[in-house]
Structure 1
Amino acid sequence: MTDRPTTGTHPLDHLVLPTPDLDVARARLTALGFVVAPTGVHPFGTVNCCVFLADGTYLEPLAIGNEQAAIDATAAGNVFVARDRLYRDSRGDDGFSAVVLATDNADADHARFVGAGLSAGGMLSFSRAFTDTSGKSDTASFKLAFAATSGATDAFLFVCQRINAPDVDRTALQAHANGATGILEVVAISDQPTEQYRLISISANDPAASGDGGAFVLPRATLSVLDPKSFTARFGIPAGSSTKLRFAAIVFAVCGIDATSSLLAANAIQHDIAGTDIVVRPASGQGAAFIFRETQ
């Protein structure tokens, strides 16, 4: 289990990527050179097929597996499912809805969110089965606390406390053909970036963070908030419609950019070069721009 400090800034844990169909997401992510884990089933109607990275972070493509269970969960006050539905109603079924930060005290985080007027609703505790590529299974248990600004529909943040971490070997799940080893940066778009700084700093348990240049340096990755013009200038991708806050791009560390480019070309994945980055625009099953950057 990765160490999770009791004090200081919360590290990046994972990213939630809504998708209409896990099969579509699995096919797209596999073509991009990722190893995709077996399907995980939540007890409240959603399902996922995660991509685990060696730095301890992961992607969580999320679909509705049982519509009635999801409806019932929302009615019962399940914030995770309710925010997923809110995002899909606002942005569609393909996208990037949430940034998740690791914590060892979700109760304290929830109290902090409530006190700051940023709580998105009640906490959520749940368990689910986890299976690795060899078929070995275990039970994972989590406690979540949620944060969002009033009226926001395009994005939210939450903290995740692992009550029980699966005792399974993820080595095979982290050996990606595209060379990806971790997440360097998560990029969000906002029409008024500075208005999002308080939400991010409080969510990350770093109230002194000022978002210098729009960047919040978290353990494991940087979270950047750009205005639409800056986003397009940096990545060559249209910023899309007006938004208070929308997560839009993920920058991955790769061990060899030439090998990554060759794999994408072999799999007929359209990509562009922006400086030293490989840029893959969002597509069905891939709800965010994927940026691949070589690191030493």
Structure 2
Amino acid sequence: MTDRPTTGTHPLDHLVLPTGSLEVARARLAALGFVVAPTGIHPFGTENCCVFLADGTYLEPLAIGNEQAAIDATAAGNVFVARDRLYRDSRGDEGFSAVVLGTDNADTDHARFVDAGLSAGDTLSFSRAFTDTSGKSDTASFKLAFAATRGAPDAFLFACQRINAPKVDRAALQAHANGASGILEVVAVSDQPTEQSRLVSVAVNDPADAKDGAFLLPNATLSVLDPKSFTARFGIPAGSSTKLRFAAIVFAVRSIDAASSLLAANAIQHDIAGADIVVRPASGQGAAFIFREIQ
């Protein structure tokens, strides 16, 4: 499992991808060759169906399971649910709202965010049940600290402290037919990439200047590109104007040929950009998925 230090640059933990329907997300992700975990229920109205990767990172497709509970949670100051609603009001129910960093002390991160004027609100502690594919259950407990730029509803970041990590076997959940083994890079788009770099720098706990907009985390790269650079790199539109929006995920796969064959067999439209396979966003897949062969 990925280490989650308080000091030094934080590692990537997971990515939050809002969706209007977990059923649609589950079907889309399965067609892309991913194994999707059983539905997880949060105690504040949201629910997920995660995709776990062998490098310890994961995707969290997120839907509203109980609208009234989500409304009540927002009114009570739950930043996670409030930011999800803010994103959906701005971008719709399908997308990529948050990058989550690993930490072993969310309170320390919260204090840093407050000092920097980038806190998105109070910390959040919660627990939920977790079940693996064999039916074995455990309880997962977390504490979150949130960072965001004012007036930027399309993206936020948060530090996630795992108070109790489920002791369940995820091997079956990580055996993806497309050969994906981890996340190499997360790519954001911004009309003001230099200005947004401060938010990312504080969130990932890296005071160094990003090189060409890229922050080197211990286990992945987090890049912030202007729209023109994004389109030039991946061959797809960057979308409408935004202060900051997470737009693409680059996955490591064992074989580009095998991944391409699977996508073709499942009637998933895809393009080739250099050595990458590019799959544009779709319902249930809120970001561009890029598959890259790693030897």
Superposition TM-score tier, normalisation by shorter sequence? over 0.9
Residue 37 in 1 paired to residue 45 in 2?
no
Q: Which amino acid aligns with 2:86?
A: L
Q: How many aligned positions are there?
A: 295
Deviations 1:174-232 (A, max 9, x none): 0000000000000000001000111111101112x211101000011100010000101
Deviations 1:123-154 (A, max 9, x none): 00000000000000000000000000111100
Q: Counterpart of 1:59 in 2: which secondary structure?
A: strand
Deviations 1:83-104 (A, max 9, x none): 0000000000000000000000
Partner of 1:96: 96
Whole-angstrom CA distance in 2 between matches of 1:113 and 1:224: 20
1:5 CA drift (Å): 2.4
Q: Which amino acid aligns with 1:162?
A: R
Partner of 1:56: 56
Whole-angstrom CA distance in 2 between matches of 1:92 and 1:205: 30
Partner of 2:227: 228
Whole-angstrom CA distance in 2 between matches of 1:240 and 1:106: 33
Whole-angstrom CA distance in 1 between matches of 2:44 and 2:150: 25
Whole-angstrom CA distance in 2 between matches of 1:151 and 1:123: 20
Whole-angstrom CA distance in 1 between matches of 2:32 and 2:118: 36
Structure 2: unaligned runs, 5 residues or longer: none
Partner of 1:211: 210
Partner of 1:142: 142
Q: Which amino acid aligns with 2:271?
A: D
Partner of 1:113: 113
Q: Which amino acid aligns with 1:241?
A: S
**TM-score after normalising by structure 2:** 0.99
Q: Counterpart of 1:201 in 2: which secondary structure?
A: helix
Check whether the contact 2:90–2:153 (CA below 8 A) recurs between aligned residues.
yes
Whole-angstrom CA distance in 2 between matches of 1:241 and 1:198: 22
Whole-angstrom CA distance in 2 between matches of 1:292 and 1:2: 22
Deviations 1:223-254 (A, max 9, x none): 00100001011111111110000000000000
Task: Give me the identity figure in percent.
Answer: 88
